[in-house]
């Protein structure tokens, strides 16, 4: 359709990140539709000049921050009643494992998951975590119709946070209860980090999901709270700045990089080589570092988003 000059795409100026305005014409009719602030928030519908629907949502006024903290997430995952979340977590295990296996066994995108295991007869746990998460993205980004259980509104983030935890639980022989609690921890931590970044940003979402997934592996293994906190801070310091240029095959590569950085950050924490306050964007606490990342993503990368979109529209 693009080759046939079926449509034209332009970047809207002076609007929120999540904004889509569509003009359509046929031989006898015209239509105009606007979606903004939320993926399903239809705010304007017009046909042949007649306004059929107009609604200005209050979504814009809501804060992007949340009431969670690292401590509240950690405590809940350790001892809280997670029974209500188990059906969703079980679905995440089933669906995300299935699409990961599909990507690992078939030809999708750049086959990053398969490439990572090339010539590896006895892959390490770290390598398996990277490969299985990337393989799920390989399939998802290249048309596989299998479902994925998301996190932070993103299938790639759902795969990035869950597959390292699922893989580690299998390899280490952890119980179902331990797996559920680690998944609860990882998913909530991803949501917490992403809440300050916003729904759409030039900041790549798998960075937060990757470090959260590895932090949850540390949680699963029974490491101390301090090691887990340091893993998060180290990981955000290491890979924040990877840009989002849309959903496409190279997301799988970014997933592998994010998880790899997470494991390096975990090793730093275990060996007491973590970054200290004042080392770049590292703050006094993990919560402050997460808050700082949100500011950088929302404010510092706002113009980056515009530049990326304009470059993408050139081709």
pLDDT digits (tens, 9 = 90+) for 79-126: 999 999 999 999 999 999 999 999 999 999 999 999 999 999 999 999
pLDDT value for 176: 98
- Which of 18 and 279 is assigned the larger pLDDT? 279
Q: Are residues 133 and 271 in the same domain?
A: yes
In the predicted model, is pLDDT for residue 312 greater than 90? Answer: no
**Structural domain that includes position 156:** 70-313
Tell me the per-residue pLDDT of 177-203, one tens digit each, with 9 for 90 and over.
999 999 999 999 999 999 999 877 899
73 within 8 A of 80, measured Cβ to Cβ: no
Do 55 and 76 lie in a common domain?
no
Higher pLDDT, 110 or 299: 110
- Clarify whether residues 175 and 238 are in a common domain: yes
**Is the CB of residue 11 less than 8 Å from the CB of residue 313?**
yes
Is 255 strand, coil or helix?
helix
Q: Mark which of 62, 80, 115 sits at the end of a domain.
A: 62
209 and 236 inside one domain: yes
Please give the average per-residue pLDDT across 269-295, as a whole number: 96
Of 10, 43, 62, at which residue does a domain stop?
62
Which of 62, 79, 98 terminates a domain? The answer is: 62
One domain for residues 58 and 84: no
Q: How far apart are the first and last CA of the chain?
A: 14
The answer to whether residue 63 scores a pLDDT higher than 60 is: no
Q: Are residues 106 and 237 in the same domain?
A: yes
pLDDT for 304 equals 83
pLDDT of residue 77 exceeding 50: yes
pLDDT of residue 65: 54
Which tokens sit at 163? 């597959």
Residue 61, pLDDT score: 43
Model confidence at 58, pLDDT cuts 50, 70, 90, reads low
User: Do 273 and 232 lie in a common domain?
Assistant: yes
C-alpha distance from residue 142 to each of 86, 150, 198, 252, 273 (Å): 29, 17, 25, 11, 39
CATH number at residue 221: 1.10.4100
One domain for residues 181 and 229: yes
Is residue 82 located within the same domain as residue 12?
no
Does position 290 have pLDDT exceeding 70, yes or no?
Answer: yes
The pTM of this model reads 0.89
pLDDT bucket at 57, cuts 50 / 70 / 90: low
Same structural domain for residues 139 and 180?
yes
Mean pLDDT of all residues in 253-272: 98
Judgement on whether residues 223 and 152 belong to the same structural domain of the protein:
yes
Dist. CA 167–CA 127, nearest whole Å: 10
**Element spanning 47, H or E:** strand 42-47
Please give the tally of structural domains in the chain.
2
Same domain, 32 and 114: no
Question: Around 230, how many Cα atoms within 13 Å sit in the side-chain half-sphere?
Answer: 19
């Amino acid at each position: 359709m693009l080759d046939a000059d079926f449509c034209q795409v332009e970047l809207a100026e002076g609007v929120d990140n999540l904004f889509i305005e569509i003009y359509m014409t046929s031989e006898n009719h015209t239509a105009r539709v606007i979606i903004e602030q939320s993926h399903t928030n239809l705010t304007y519908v017009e046909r042949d000049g007649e306004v059929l629907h107009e609604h200005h949502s209050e979504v814009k006024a809501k804060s992007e921050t949340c009431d969670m903290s690292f401590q509240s997430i950690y405590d809940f995952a350790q001892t809280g009643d997670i029974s209500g979340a188990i059906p969703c977590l079980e679905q995440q295990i089933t669906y995300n494992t299935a699409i990961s296996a599909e990507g690992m066994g078939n030809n999708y995108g750049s086959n990053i998951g398969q490439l990572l295991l090339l010539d590896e007869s006895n892959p390490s746990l770290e390598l398996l975590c990277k490969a299985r998460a990337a393989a799920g993205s390989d399939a998802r980004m290249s048309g596989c119709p299998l479902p994925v259980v998301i996190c932070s509104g993103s299938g790639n983030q759902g795969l990035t946070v869950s597959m390292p935890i699922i893989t580690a639980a299998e390899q280490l022989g952890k119980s179902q209860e331990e797996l559920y609690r680690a998944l609860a921890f990882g998913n909530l931590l991803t949501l917490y980090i992403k809440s300050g970044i916003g729904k759409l940003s030039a900041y790549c979402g798998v960075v937060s999901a990757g470090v959260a997934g590895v932090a949850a592996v540390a949680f699963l293994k029974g490491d101390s709270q301090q090691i887990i906190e340091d893993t998060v801070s180290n990981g955000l310091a290491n890979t924040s700045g990877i840009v989002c240029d849309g959903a496409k095959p190279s997301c799988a590569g970014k997933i592998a990089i994010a998880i790899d950085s997470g494991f390096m950050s975990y090793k730093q924490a275990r060996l007491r080589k973590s970054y200290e306050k004042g080392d770049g964007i590292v703050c006094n606490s993990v919560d402050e570092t997460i808050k700082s990342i949100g500011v950088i993503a929302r404010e510092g990368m706002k113009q980056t988003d515009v530049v990326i979109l304009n470059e993408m529209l050139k081709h």
